[in-house]
Amino acid sequence: MIDVVRGDITQQDVDAIVNAANSSLMGGGGVDGAIHAAAGPALLQACKDVRRRLYPDGLPTGAAIATTGGDLPARFVIHTVGPKYWEYADGGRELLAAAHRNSLAETQRVGASSVAFPAISCGVYGWNPREAAPIAIEAVRTALADFPDVQRVSFVLINDDAFDAFTRAIESAD
């Protein structure tokens, strides 16, 4: 099941939330900063551990990795780095799709059955939600067949533009 919700991703009653992270995993602005602030120091420590053990040069664009949820209602945070629109001739469409697919793979890997996504790359990374939403919805819809343990996916959007774009995209995909 895939749905679109208007709200705060840090307050969702799901097993995992996806963080639209920067490659450093050390927090930032937008949803990344909100998740780090709500999760508390355990999240930052987990991210430092990931950097030290697995990604000393930072998490690559399109990749995903799970950490603890810290003080969040969600048990896990799935960090992914979306593409910066201006760095690719097509905005990085395949990397945006990969960020969603790899986040679902991590969701299943940690045993989570429900996950909430933000509008990856739709903030400072320059993607227009009307362009990103169909890519995100299609990537998730297609990838769910490979991850049968993931039973519920929500796109949790904080602003009207993103909410409207994702709602239209999910309606068009039906």
Q: Which residues are catalytic?
A: 32
Residue 125 identity (one-letter amino acid): Y
The H-assigned helical ranges of the chain are: 30-39, 41-53, 93-109, 129-143, 160-173
Cα 166 → chain centroid: 14
Gap between the Cα atoms of 58 and 84, Å rounded: 15
Secondary structure letter of residue 82 according to DSSP: P
- Candidates 71, 82, 70; CA nearest to 19 is 82
